[in-house]
């Protein structure tokens, strides 16, 4: 069963977007180059844009240095996705993720307040989600076929994670069969993350990367 694969990009994005899609940050700071990757650049405004979206989703953001590393990983994924002609996500996919994001807040008012505090508009958020899905879908299509799950691993996960978690909440654990699909998907996503992480590390070693904005990436 293939679910929405947004969790895969926790590795790369932590809900990260680029200022190419969210130019509002450039209106507030004098932009400058934060890093060079091959013949391309990553701008300070891109770091600020990602920071805003992290603030919306998590209530806080990573350091500029951490965000810059995520943006370099994004560059790698995006470049490969464009070469492979990865299709853009549909409006329906974006709507589904946006709905899930909204529902993660206690109320619509809280979501709107956090969005305003982060300096994001409705179109900014949709553009961010669309970009995230584009990268996430590429990682899924590239690495999912190579992930094989041992049936025994599903049983171990059930006994060590599902059952203890249910008991800790004072609930009756679901049966193994009822949990099998969800467990298998979680293990597949872990496998995708591991393969993508290794691929990104190897890709970084082959690329010419120069960080220029250490003073702005603390």
- For residue 114, the model assigns a pLDDT of 95
- Mean pLDDT, to the nearest integer, of 173-196? 95
CA distance 32 to 39: 16
Residue 34 and residue 42 in contact, taking contact as beta carbons nearer than 8 Å? yes
37 bridge partner residues: 40, 209
Neighbours of 37 (CB within 10 A): 18
Give yes or no for residue 50 having a pLDDT over 80: yes
- For residue 18, the model assigns a pLDDT of 43
Query: Where are the domains positioned within the chain?
Result: 6-148+209-216
**Model confidence over 92-150: pLDDT tens digits?**
999 999 999 999 999 999 999 999 999 999 999 999 999 999 999 999 999 999 999 99
CA distance 103 to 127: 19
Give yes or no for residue 74 having a pLDDT over 60: yes
Dmax (CA) of the chain:
57
**Model confidence over 1-43: pLDDT tens digits?**
434 434 445 545 544 444 344 444 444 446 899 999 999 999 9
CA distance 46 to 166: 41
- Mean pLDDT, to the nearest integer, of 149-163? 95
- Mean pLDDT, to the nearest integer, of 69-94? 96
Taking each helix axis as running N to C, give the angle between helix 108-118 and helix 44-58, from 0 to 180 degrees, rounded to the nearest 10. Answer: 160
Quick one: 174 exposed, middle or buried, by C-beta within 10 A (0-12, 13-18, 19+)? Answer: middle
Mean pLDDT score of the chain: 87
> Among 63, 60, 40, 44, which Cα is nearest to 52's?
60
- For residue 31, the model assigns a pLDDT of 85
- Mean pLDDT, to the nearest integer, of 156-168? 94
Please, what is the end-to-end C-alpha distance for the chain in angstroms?
41
Residue entry with tokens 């999912």: 144
Q: Collapsing DSSP states into helix, strand and coil, what is residue 80?
A: helix
Architecture per CATH, 6-148+209-216: Orthogonal Bundle (1.10)
- For residue 22, the model assigns a pLDDT of 42
Query: Half-sphere exposure of 152 toward its Cβ, with a 13 Å CA cutoff?
Result: 0
pLDDT category of residue 214 using cuts at 50, 70 and 90: low
Where helices occur in the chain by DSSP H, the ranges are 44-58, 64-83, 91-103, 108-118, 122-143, 151-157, 163-168, 176-206
64 bridge partner residues: none
> CA dist 14 to 10, 106, 167, 177, Å?
4, 21, 30, 32
- For residue 10, the model assigns a pLDDT of 52
- pTM beyond 0.85: the answer is no
């Amino acid at each position: 069963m293939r679910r929405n694969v947004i969790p895969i990009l926790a590795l790369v994005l932590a809900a990260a977007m680029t200022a190419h899609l969210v130019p509002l940050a450039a209106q507030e700071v004098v932009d400058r180059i934060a890093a060079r990757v091959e013949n391309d650049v990553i701008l300070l405004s891109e770091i600020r844009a990602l920071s805003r979206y992290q603030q919306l989703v998590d209530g806080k953001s990573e350091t500029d240095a951490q965000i810059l590393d995520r943006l370099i990983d994004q560059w790698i994924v995006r470049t490969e996705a464009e070469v492979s002609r990865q299709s853009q996500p549909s409006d329906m996919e974006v709507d589904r993720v946006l709905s899930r994001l909204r529902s993660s807040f206690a109320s619509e008012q809280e979501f709107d307040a956090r969005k305003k505090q982060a300096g994001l508009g409705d179109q900014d958020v949709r553009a961010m989600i669309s970009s995230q899905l584009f990268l996430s879908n590429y990682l899924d299509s590239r690495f999912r076929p190579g992930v094989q799950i041992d049936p025994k691993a599903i049983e171990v996960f059930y006994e060590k994670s599902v059952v203890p978690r249910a008991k800790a909440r004072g609930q009756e654990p679901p049966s193994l069969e009822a949990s099998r699909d969800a467990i298998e998907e979680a293990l597949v996503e872990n496998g995708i993350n591991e393969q993508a992480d290794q691929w990104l590390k190897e890709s970084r070693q082959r690329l010419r990367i120069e960080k220029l904005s250490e003073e702005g990436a603390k």
